[in-house]
Chains A and B, each alone.
Chain A
Amino acid sequence: MKGDRIFLQILRGAALVSLLILAGFFLQLFSSAWPALKASGISFFTSTNWDPNQQAFGAGAFIYGTVVSSLLALVIAVPISVATALCLTDLFASRVAAMISFLVEMLAAIPSVVFGLWGVFVLSPLLRSTIQPFLAERFSWIPLFSGPPLGIGMMSAGIILAIMITPTLTALSRELFLAIPTLQREAALALGATRWEAIRVAVLKSATSGLWGAVVLAWGRALGETMAVTMVIGNRAQVSPSLFAPAQTLAAVLANEYAEATDDLHLSALAAVGFTLLLVSTLIHWGAKTWIKRRAQT
Chain B
Amino acid sequence: MKVSPWFDRWRKWKSRAALLLLVGGCGLAVLPLFAILLHLIRQGASALDWAFFTQAQKPVGELGGGMGHAILGTLAQVGLASLLGIPLGLACGIYLSEFGARERQGAPGTRERFASPVRFALELLASTPSILVGVFVYGVIVVPMKKFSLMSGALALMLILLPLVARTSEELLRLIPQHLREAGLALGLPRWKVILSVVLRSAWPGVWAAILLAMARIAGETAPLVLTSFGNPSFSHAWDQPSASLPLQIYTYAISPFEEWHRMAWAGALTLVLTVLVLNAITRISGGSHERRRHD
Contacts and interface: CB of A to CB of B under 8 A. Distances in A.
B132 A278 contact: yes
Interface in A48-103: 79-84, 86-88, 91, 100, 102-103
Residue of B23, B30, B39, B115 contacting most chain A CB atoms (<10 Å):
B30
Given A4-B192, A111-B272, A116-B251, A28 B223 contact: no
Which secondary structure characterizes the binding site on chain A?
Answer: helix
A84 B23 CA distance: 7
Contact of A3 (B162, B190, B230): B190
Residue of B87, B115, B131, B277 contacting most chain A CB atoms (<10 Å):
B131
A84 B254 contact: no
Interface string B267-282: 0010011001100110
Interface stretch (B58-66, B91-99, B175-183, B199-207): B91-99
A117 to B, nearest CB: 5
Contacts of B124: 22, 282, 285-286
Interface size class of B (residues with CB under 8 A): 35 or more
B14 A194 contact: yes
Nearest to B23: A87
Contact of B276 (A80, A88, A111, A281): A111
Nearest to B31: A163
Interface string B49-70: 0000000000000000000000
Contacts of A146: none
Residue of A109, A113, A199, A271 contacting most chain B CB atoms (<10 Å):
A113
Interface in A1-53: 1, 3-4, 6-8, 10-19, 21-22, 24-25, 28-29, 32
B33 interface: yes
Contact of B140 (A19, A24, A79, A113): A24
Interface in A187-243: 194-197, 199, 217, 220, 223-227, 231
A217 B127 CA distance: 10
Contacts of A145: none
Given A114-B250, A274-B132, A281-B128, A107 B32 contact: yes
A14 B92 contact: yes
Contacts of B25: 79-80, 82-84, 87
A224 B129 contact: yes
A291 interface: no
Residue of A6, A100, A109 contacting most chain B CB atoms (<10 Å):
A109
Interface residues of A, number: 88
A254 interface: yes
B258 interface: no
B28 interface: yes
Given A251-B223, A282-B127, A114 B273 contact: yes
Contacts of B30: 84, 100, 103-104, 107
A7 B193 CA distance: 10
Interface string B198-234: 0000000000000000001101111100110010000
Contacts of A102: 284
A225 B129 contact: yes
B216 A114 contact: no
Contacts of B216: 109
B275 to A, nearest CB: 10
Contact of B293 (A111, A171, A195, A281): A171
Interface string B149-163: 000000000010011
29 contacts: A4-B190, A4-B192, A14-B91, A14-B95, A15-B91, A15-B115, A15-B118, A16-B114, A18-B118, A21-B125, A22-B125, A28-B139, A87-B23, A87-B26, A91-B23, A106-B33, A110-B36, A110-B220, A113-B269, A113-B272, A118-B35, A120-B254, A163-B32, A226-B222, A231-B251, A254-B135, A255-B227, A277-B132, A278-B132
List the 10 closest A-B pairs by CB distance, nearest first.
A224-B129, A111-B220, A83-B25, A14-B91, A194-B15, A7-B192, A196-B15, A196-B18, A226-B223, A11-B95
Given A21-B125, A113-B269, 18 more contacts: A3-B190, A7-B192, A15-B91, A18-B166, A19-B121, A84-B25, A102-B284, A109-B217, A110-B33, A111-B221, A113-B222, A114-B220, A120-B254, A168-B295, A194-B15, A224-B131, A227-B222, A277-B129
Interface of B: 11-12, 14-16, 18-19, 21-26, 28-30, 32-33, 35-36, 39-40, 43, 87-88, 91-92, 94-96, 99, 112, 114-115, 117-118, 121-125, 127-132, 134-136, 138-140, 148, 159, 162-163, 166, 190-193, 195, 216-217, 219-223, 226-227, 230, 247, 250-251, 254-255, 262, 265-266, 269, 272-273, 276-277, 280-281, 284, 293, 295-296
Interface of A: 1, 3-4, 6-8, 10-19, 21-22, 24-25, 28-29, 32, 79-84, 86-88, 91, 100, 102-107, 109-118, 120-122, 163, 166-168, 170-172, 194-197, 199, 217, 220, 223-227, 231, 251, 254-255, 258-259, 270-271, 274, 277-278, 281-282, 285-286, 289
